[in-house]
Structure 1
Amino acid sequence: MAAARPPFSFETGPKTKERAPVARRFRGSETYKVDAKGRVSIPAAFRRVIEASDPDWVPGNRPNIVLVYGPERQTWLEVYTIKAIEEIDAQIEDMQRNSADRLQLEEWMHGQAQELQIDEDGRLVLPQRLRDKIGLEGEAFFISAGDYFKIWKPETYQAHYAERQRRLAEQYPDDFDPRSLLPGRPKG
């Protein structure tokens, strides 16, 4: 006779004390409305990655993120999961103390960043000064970047994307396969 299986929950997988493993990569892009208070819904798939990558999150709690707004010339916001920012923090700690590179990374990733929580409705509240910094008004464009995602003013992103496509067209032939840029993996 087969052993009874524990009840299943879409939120946590089999009902155990540990959460089921969930992919921690962001994928895709979406545009969402930003209200007058700066609240913007985070794509549902992004919220699952944020929750899975926050070691303190349990259902019913608000998941934590780190928003990096960067230097004045940066025209987008970067949103990191707790796990991703901890990995970056560890890499910064491994650098030579007081080196120019470490000081720059500390300023960007610590000094030009803010810890925030996702509200109970799955929204992020973007402070006015950050909305002003990137010119965000009625809509926000979210685009994945692996273990973090970026928030852009849609028109700024479109201009950035068009320029990048123009440069790529000059650099690579029409039939270029971007996967060819991936490093080889050891065979084993």
Structure 2
Amino acid sequence: MSIPASFRRVLEAGDPNWESGQNPELVVVYGDHRRSYLECYTITAIDEVNEKIDALPRGSQERKMLQRLYDTQSQTLTVDETGRLVLPAKLRSKIDLDGEALFTGAGDTFQIWNPTTYDNEELSKTEEWLDALPEDFDPLMFLDGVPANAGRET
């Protein structure tokens, strides 16, 4: 599948080993049985996640489970020279993908969905959330008073 150009630029910037003319790497986390999408991390982003996991107490249940979810249930892939990503059968099967894929940006990661699953799960959640708000409510109001760099680590 072809990765959108804007996503490829992020992958290149987030791969410390990438140089012009080379193909960037990324880590695809397929996760547990509840996850119905693939989450794609730059090398830098997954390194940050792993550093935080490693900071948890050795032997703790949280550390073991997060290592399992993010280390064991992930795969490092390389974007090819045409900007495409070849997903192994195991990953395609995980999200029941046999045709077109939907890419969604999610902060410092992006997700790959089966379009039908996305519509059934995520789009319906968004619609339910919006329907619970007054008709004239602008969701951007939730951002009032939030600093522009809130949530970003330095």
Question: Residue deviations 1:154-188, cap 9 Å, x none?
Answer: 111011133212430354222333334346339xx
Q: Does 1:51 align with 2:12?
A: yes
Q: Which amino acid aligns with 2:74?
A: A
Distance 2:59 2:141 in 1: 37
Report the counterpart of residue 177 of structure 1 in structure 2: 138
Q: Which structure's residues are more often helix, by fraction?
A: 2
Distance 1:184 1:128 in 2: 42
**How is 1:31-70 mapped onto 2 (pairs within 5 angstroms)?**
40-70=1-31
Gapped regions of structure 1 (runs ≥ 5): 1-39
Query: Which residue does the alignment assign to 1:30?
Result: none
Q: How many angstroms apart in 2 are the aligned matches of 1:157 and 1:113?
A: 21
C-alpha separation in 2, matches of 1:160 and 1:76: 11
Bigger fraction of residues in strand: 1
Deviation at 1:91, TM superposition (A): 1.2
TM-score by length of 2: 0.87
Distance 1:60 1:162, change over 3 A: closer
- CA shift, 1:105, in A, is 1.1
What does residue range 93-108 of structure 1 map to in structure 2 within 5 Å? 93-108=54-69
DSSP 3-state at the match of 2:140: helix
Gaps of 5+ in 2: 149-154
Q: Secondary structure at the match of 2:101?
A: strand
Percent same amino acid at aligned positions? 46
Q: Which amino acid aligns with 1:115?
A: T
In structure 2, what is the Cα distance between the partners aligned to 1:175 and 1:106? 44
- What is the aligned-residue RMSD (CA, Å)? 1.8
Aligned residues: 147
Tell me how far apart the structure 2 counterparts of residues 185 and 94 of structure 1 sit (CA, whole Å): 27
Q: Distance in 2 between matches of 1:64 and 1:145?
A: 18
Moved over 4 A (4+): none
TM-score (norm 1): 0.72
Q: Measure the CA separation in 2 of the matches of 1:112 and 1:89.
A: 13
1:79 counterpart SS class: strand
Alignment match, 2:73: 112
In our comparison, the structure showing a higher alpha carbon Rg is 1
Q: Distance in 1 between matches of 2:110 and 2:127?
A: 23
The equivalent of 1:74 in structure 2 is 35
